[in-house]
Structure 1
Amino acid sequence: MTLIGRTRARGVESLSLDSPDTRNALSAALVGELTDALKDCAKDTGVRAIVLTHTGNTFCAGADLRDPPPPEALVALLRQIVELPRPVVARVTGHVRAGGLGLLAACDIAAASHEATFAFTEVRIGVAPAVISLPILPRTDPRALARYYLTGERFTAPEAARVGLLTTHADDVDEALAPILDGLRRSAPEALAETKALLTAKVLETFDRDAADLTALSARLFSSAQAREGMTAFLERRDPEWVV
């Protein structure tokens, strides 16, 4: 069973996270398939831009707690999106949690419907938004991010746009994306690649400087006693022992 749907229209390749039964959680298998699909797009000169979207009511629920990818694999996927010589556009019509926000931030442009909600839920299961900070921290408002990182609160699409996680939001996300995709189709491919490189240089500096440390932090926290309790509580649909 494939976990990534693929369609193409006028040079725009749509890659759809297609595991609605797991709320498109980032399993080792899904990360591997998405990595391979992006490699194909990078080699295909017929692909002018990529839309990263989803099936079901959740764009991505974060890491699959039953089959999580190694932190190194998630870092590599996020960097691959940032470095890809084609613009990557996120199209979101559902909920985004934890690691899914890393995917969102790695994309060059992100649009969401007003049905979407967002939350950094890592602290509530005993870990931290470590590797996903690589694309998030250079692109977002640090004061707002402190609130949402530390509390795990949900927030809306307008708020996600205000803090820098979204480019645009609308009742009809496809209507909002239409002029953006038209602009990408009208742009010269080499010029797009060089312009993207200008825009992502600071993000890649963060990867170069911090990826190893944040990968180690993620691995340490995921193996901690608090993470085991938090993940067990999440799967059992109860509060973890530290809730007061």
Structure 2
Amino acid sequence: MSEVLRAESDERGVLTLTIDRPEVKNAFDDQLQEALTKAFSAVGDDVRIVIVTGAGSVFSAGADLNWMRAAVDATFEENVASSRRFEAMLAAVDRCPAPVIARVNGHCLAGALGLVTCADLAVAVRGALFGFSETRLGLAPAMISHYAVRRTGIGAARRYLLTGERFDADRAQALGLLVDVVDDEAALDAAVADLVDALLAAAPGAVRDTKRLLATIAATPDPAATVDARVELISRRRTSEEGQAGMAAFFDRQPAPWVPADR
């Protein structure tokens, strides 16, 4: 895949992407952003779940210091281009057709927390620290702000994006950034495995359709504006091959065909 991003797939269709820059706390630079953008953009029908995590004891400390120094000396136009590359990475994660699980194995700051807000599900170890720290550097969390507000709501965003203060994993869960907090890395693996098992028990096509539907609803909160899409989706799913097979398996009290054999 890349010298900064490791990719491993298994026979179930679970793709694990590991940010592999532990010497700089898995910080983001142009190379890592490009690798993540390509990896998420390339997810096809053979992938049922994507897990993203960090090598070592940190998920990601945010921006690479050398990358930040280069931004100081760059022109306005060069910074525009750099920011658009970062947005392309966030959008690739956000629009990934398969569900994305963030396995947060340690501190997760600034742009890295933005990446987590684009994942569908996130689990973290209790010792991890979080923060939208840009304002404390005289910057603004501009590129991650849309995704952060969508996840936490505007009230929490006003506090944590304005102050840049750090908060712990329990607070991150209370804000809606995480679905679970566990005590150590062994428990983290178990929690991620439970989420994987739960997703694999659901039909892959139905999961992808539901993910798209949730994105539509998030962008269009008025139920009247989405009723046609919702009616079309359930009608199509009921008459689809997956829907027919799933309902038949339910009535016959048999496992659905997409459920792994070892379940």
Amino acid at match of 2:18: S
Contact 1:6 1:15 in 2 (8 A): yes
Quick check: 1:82–1:204 contact (8 Å CA) kept in 2?
Answer: no
Kindly indicate whether residue 100 of structure 2 is the aligned counterpart of residue 88 of structure 1.
Answer: yes
| Residue pair 1:52, 1:90 contacting (<8 A) in 2 also | yes
Aligned residue number for residue 109 of structure 1:
121
Runs of 4+ in 1 over 6 A off after TM superposition: none
Distance, in Å, in 1 between the alignment partners of 2:21 and 2:100 is 20
Gaps of 5+ in 1: 206-244
The one-letter amino acid paired with 2:49 is A
Could you tell me which of 12, 15, 25 is aligned with 1:13?
15
Q: CA deviation at 1:203?
A: 5.4
Q: Name the CA distance, whole Å, in 2 between partners of 1:110 and 1:81.
A: 13
Which residues of 2 match residues 70-149 of structure 1 at below 5 A? 70-149=82-161
Matched, 1:189 2:201: no
Equivalent-residue separation in structure 2 for 1:204 and 1:24 (angstroms)? 32
The alpha carbon displacement at 1:54 in A equals 0.7
Give, in whole Å, the separation in 1 of the partners of 2:141 and 2:119: 17
Provide, for residues 116-171 of structure 1, a one-character-per-residue CA deviation record: whole Å limited to 9, x for no partner: 11011101111011110121111104323222222222111110010111111111
**TM-score normalised by the chain length of structure 1:** 0.78
Opposite residue 4 of structure 1, the aligned amino acid is: L
Q: 1:12 is aligned with what amino acid?
A: V
Count of matched residue pairs: 203
SS of match in other structure, 1:137: helix
2:94–2:119 CA contact under 8 A, matched in 1: yes
* Within-5 A mapping of 1:1-244: 2-9=3-10, 10-40=12-42, 42-43=43-44, 45-67=45-67, 70-171=82-183, 172-201=187-216
Q: Normalising to structure 2: TM-score of the pair?
A: 0.73
Q: Compared with structure 1, are the counterparts of its residues 27 and 203 closer, same or farther at alpha carbon in structure 2 (3 Å cutoff)?
A: farther
CA distance in 2, matches of 1:204, 1:38: 22
> Larger relative CO (CA 8 A, sep 6+): 1 or 2?
1
Query: What CA distance in whole angstroms lies between the structure 2 residues aligned with 1:158 and 1:141?
Result: 17
Q: In terms of Rg, which structure is larger?
A: 2
1:98 maps to a residue whose letter is A
What's the RMSD between the two structures over aligned residues? 1.7
Give yes or no for contact 2:148–2:157 (8 Å, CA) kept in 1: no
Return 160-169 or 194-203, whichever deviates more: 194-203
Give SS of 2:28's match.
coil
| 64-73 vs 126-135, which moves further | 64-73
Q: Output one character per residue of 1:176-233: Cα deviation in whole Å (capped at 9) or x when no partner.
A: 222210011122121111100122225567xxxxxxxxxxxxxxxxxxxxxxxxxxxx
Describe the shift of the 1:188–1:17 C-alpha distance in structure 2 as closer, same or farther (beyond 3 A).
Answer: same
